[in-house]
Structure 1
Amino acid sequence: MPRVHVNGIDLFYEIQGTGEPLLLISGFLCDRSYWSLVMPSLVKQYQVIRLDNRGVGRTSAPDSPYSIQQMATDTAALLEHIGIEKVNVVGHSMGGQIAQELALARPEKVQSLILLSSLAKGDPLFNSIIATWGELPGTIDQKLYQQVILPWIFSDAFYSIPEMIDMIVDIAVKYPFPPTPHGIFHQSRAILGCDTRQRLKDIHCPTLVLVSKQDILTPVKFSEQLAQGIPNAELVVLERGGHGLVVESPEAVASAMLNFLSRLPKNGMSLM
């Protein structure tokens, strides 16, 4: 697994497939493995780049404050290191916040943007949930932590399959590179400190905003705000799946992503 020292951290990344570059940025708590179920569809057509954000996986987790802009700088430094001039960028949840900041800071690097279950700024309920999730790992074990957060991540239908939830909890508990409590805390505060609402108008690349109708953590209204604020953004609302739609509805997510990407002209300036 390649690793590069950028922006004061050792950052792990992975590249698979051939074709146009496609960068996948995971959300809060998640490392590059979050995208595993959509990877088979994506690598058939794209050179897919995945990374572990600071604070999770095999990337450094410094015990100091993080910001979404800082994580966007980490990502831009990775692109420079591997020689990517222009890339299609996909971000889920917090990863979508990072993707927005990357598009704002380095517009010449971002060919298109796909924001999954993401937001410009959370409301009081969302902020309270994320603040609590950032503090809990210092007081409860990994199994209980997963049992606390998962009802917010998956839809009722998915959560009603006990063996699926048990499997996800078991994977998290046994995962060889679990996030540290301080890494989780600092990521949570980065989420709370980010606000792109007044800057969305400055994102000019083709953008797809994708969310599930059943997402209760980042509800449809958050995606509507993104789509309304970003010039000419396209909003797609899936019927099935919760916040963790990449795990719960990977085929639908991959199909929506590929459909959007297939309609981009090669210069990435506008949708056909």
Structure 2
Amino acid sequence: MDYVGRFAPSPTGPLHFGSLITALASYCEAKSNQGQWLVRIEDTDIPRIYPDSEQHILRCIDAFEFVPDGDILFQKDRLEIYEDVLVQLKAQHDIYACQCTRKMLGSNAIYAGTCRDLNLDFANQAIRLKVNDEPICFDDPLQSRQCSNLAEDLGDFVLKRRDGIISYQLAVVVDDYLQGVTNVVRGADLLDNTARQIWLGHCLGYPELNYLHLPLAMNADGRKLSKQNFAQALDPDNASELLSQAAQALNQPPLDLDRPSTMLAQAVAQWQRERIPQSTILSQIYQ
């Protein structure tokens, strides 16, 4: 099967250096395997979209001279597709309506299946996916073999919120399938999402993907670079220097400073996945 990878940022804030590491690694993995590289904007959580963040993402893709192999996809334009998938899951009896509020659930991290057998009407309720009491495992080239029993670790999980927002889990699984994605390269902060996505894909009859979770860039406070932690936005005017730093963070051979497209070609030509630190975090501090 031909390799299809993707970079799928969420516009809950501007792209930061951790985002660039993911973009570079996913691009190099795809291109070094003679594959395609797609870009998707994961913007289903519309209330959390940060002003101008989508424009910043698109500006950075242009400034860093990443060229996607196809049109950039916006999830907020695909809500009807996700609703159709919920209809399929309902017909398969894989989902149910849940009236539990956060207040009712309290601090319980594992959903106890309170509403699973109540046969509630689906209107104006959260929608949960049933999980099985069995391990789900996958092999990650950087993070080794990962296993999770969703029934023990999480319980039935939400695919659509009470306020109508489609969950990240549903949208990402459906779009990876419809876009023909075969390989997912992303940060290790998403490791605990993978078992959920494998299970949902199994329920929908989708082929299982290959996953690679990159170590996270950390700030001086020991927290991962993220929009929530106010990581510094990427400066499109400093693209070449930042690309060089991202390659260094991934422990790749040095890049010659040049225009970004030339540096990307060099990064692909000398890409060595085995050099990426086999850890969930990078040892160097970034801003």
Please confirm whether the aligned pair reaches a TM-score higher than 0.5, indicating the same fold.
no
Taking structure 1 as the reference length, what is the TM-score of the superposition?
Answer: 0.34
**Which structure has the higher relative contact order (CA within 8 Å, separation 6+)?**
2
